[in-house]
Every structure is written in structure tokens, then in C-alpha cells.
A and B are shown apart, each in its own frame.
Chain A
Amino acid sequence: MKKIKKVVDERQELELYKIEHVCFWIVFWLLLGSIIVQSMFLSAPFSQWGFEWTIFMISCGGVIVGCYKKGQWDFYSKPTTKNYLLYSLIGAGAFAIIYAITMYLNHAYLKGNLLALASLTALIFGLLFSLIFVALFVTGTLIKNRQKKLEDEFSDDTQK
């Protein structure tokens, strides 16, 4: 297949990548926000936000596959157990707060029974924390192995 010739120089290409990078993350977070509002605050059926969720999951999958292939993890941190714990804590904590708020707003029973709401939130937090930690641990380990493989590919010992 013939490659389309680029008409930009390396600086323009770099700047375009930066623009696309920023726009991607804006769309990513807006999409996530939209899904949370529709599914949790408005209690809309899955058929209403399912398409957005599918697109969101495709973009997540794309990022994970891309990062794995290139052996990349993150701009600001390394794949370590400390970071897995930190990110799991932030992710699960943020979701648990949103969950608690929406449950409080949407369920009259929980409004009068804060202990039940707290227990439910703690349970969700625990489940999510474990889930995120396992997901980060698995992807982090895979990426570290991939990094090692890529390093070996270009090392003095293997190049001929």
C-alpha cells in the first residue's frame, strides 16, 4: 500500500501530535463524564449510553495495546507496586465518592440509613480497588516484560 506523503516538517508534526494528544484526553474525560452522568446520576438505561461506553472502551483498549507494543507506561510514573496502589486508591476513591452521592440522591431508603450507604460504598470501594490494582499489576508486569524485550532487541549483544 502506498504511504500518503506528509507535507509537514518535523516541528509541525510534533506540534500536531501535541494538539491531538491534548484533544484526545479532553474527549476521553468528557466521554467518561458523560457516561457517569447518564448511567449514575440520571439512571439512564444502558441502551442510551452504551454506544458511548463502547467507543470509550475501544479508546482504552487502543491505548493499552499501543502502550504495550511500544513498552510505554505513563508520562509521570513508572510501573511499580507503589504506583499501582496509589492509582488504585485514587480511582476507587473517586468512583466510591460518586457512587455514594448518586446512591444517596436516587434511593430514598439510603437517605435515612447512612450506615447502610457507608457499608455499600466501602464494599464498592474495596471491590474497585482490588479490580484496578489487579488490572494495573497485570498491565504493568506485561509492559515491564515488553520493555525488557525491546531493550534486548537493540542491545550490543544481540545486534549483528
Chain B
Amino acid sequence: MKNIKLKVARAEKDLSQEELAKRIGVTRQTIGMIEAGKFNPSLQLCIAICKALGKTLNDLFWEENDNEKN
């Protein structure tokens, strides 16, 4: 399941994948894979991403309906 919300939130903050990755101490590939839905991050990493982007877990990782799947 692609994470469009994360991609949008990152774009809103004008951050590249590389910059976000650096802020939370992971690799760019990890951010790319989370956005592409290829890797499920731990709760700890989700929180770190939310903090870096000024969002809540609900904002970035909660799915209200099936519209955002794939």
C-alpha cells in the first residue's frame, strides 16, 4: 500500500527523501520504500517521521478507506 500522505507531507515541508532520511537517521532507500509501500516501519520509526514532518500518526499512517490502496 503506497503512502501518498507521507509523500505529500514531505513535499509540503519542501524536503527531499534524502533530507528527511538524514533528519531521522535512516537511509534514503528506506524512506523511498515506506512511501512505495514496500517496507512497514516500526512504530518508533513512524513516530520519528511524524515528528520530523510535524504530523501525527493519524495524519500519515491511518487509512480511513480503501481509496488509497495502491
- Interface 9-mer from A5-13, A41-49, A123-131: A5-13
Interface of B is mostly: loop
CB-nearest residue of chain A to B38: A11
Of A9, A10, A11, A12, most buried by chain B (CB within 10 Å of CB) is A11
Bound: A128/B19 CA distance, A:
59
B29 CB-CB contact with A under 8 Å: yes
User: What is the chain A residue whose CB lies nearest that of B26?
Assistant: A9
User: Does residue B58 face the partner (Cβ distance < 8 Å to A)?
Assistant: no
Least Cβ distance of B18 to chain A in Å? 14
Closest Cβ neighbor of A15 among chain B residues: B39
Give every chain B residue within 8 A of A11 (Cβ-Cβ). Answer: 26-27, 29-30, 33, 39, 41
Q: Contact at A10–B27, with CB atoms within 8 Å?
A: no
| A residues less than 8 Å from B25 (CB atoms) | 9
A99-115: CB near B (< 8 Å → 1, else 0) gives 00000000000000000
Task: Name the distance in Å between B52's Cβ and chain A's nearest Cβ.
Answer: 14
* A12 cross-chain contacts in B, Cβ below 8 A: 27, 30
**What 1/0 mask marks residues of chain B from 24 to 56 whose CB sits below 8 Å from any chain A CB?**
011101100100000101101100000000000
Instruction: Identify the B interface with A (CB < 8 A).
Output: 25-27, 29-30, 33, 39, 41-42, 44-45
Q: Offer 18 A-B interface pairs, CB within 8 angstroms, sorted by A.
A: A9-B25, A9-B26, A9-B27, A9-B30, A9-B45, A10-B26, A10-B30, A10-B41, A10-B42, A10-B44, A10-B45, A11-B26, A11-B27, A11-B30, A11-B33, A11-B39, A11-B41, A12-B27
Q: Apart from A9-B45, A11-B30, what 13 extra A-B contacts exist at CB < 8 Å?
A: A9-B26, A9-B30, A10-B30, A10-B41, A10-B42, A10-B45, A11-B26, A11-B27, A11-B29, A11-B33, A11-B41, A12-B27, A12-B30
Rank and list the top 6 A-B pairs by shortest CB-CB distance, nearest first: A9-B26, A11-B30, A11-B39, A9-B30, A9-B27, A10-B42
